[in-house]
């Protein structure tokens, strides 16, 4: 199964779910992964550092909610 098929299957399961694509490069312009992320609503592409930042923000949000 390729990335596009996986993204569209996830979108079919729950259209409101945010999809995060982990890529080895943060530069989404011009590559297929970036085009998929830009074309599908609620889909972002991040590199490893971006994932760390996203997870830390989620931790901070959940910690404030407790």
pLDDT digits (tens, 9 = 90+) for 37-63: 999 999 999 999 999 999 999 898 888
Structural domain containing residue 32: 3-65
Sign of CA dihedral 28, 32, 37, 1: negative
- pLDDT band of residue 34 (cuts 50, 70, 90) is confident
To the nearest whole percent, how much of the chain has pLDDT over 90?
Answer: 59
Cβ 36 vs Cβ 3: under 8 Å: yes
Q: How many CB atoms lie within 10 A of CB 38?
A: 12
What is the number of structural domains in the chain? 1
């Amino acid at each position: 199964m390729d990335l596009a098929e996986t993204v569209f299957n996830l979108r079919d399961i729950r259209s409101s779910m945010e999809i995060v694509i982990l890529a080895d490069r943060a530069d989404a312009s011009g590559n297929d992964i970036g085009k998929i992320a830009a074309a599908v609503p609620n889909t972002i592409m991040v590199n490893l550092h971006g994932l760390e930042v996203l997870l830390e923000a989620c931790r901070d949000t959940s910690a404030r909610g407790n």
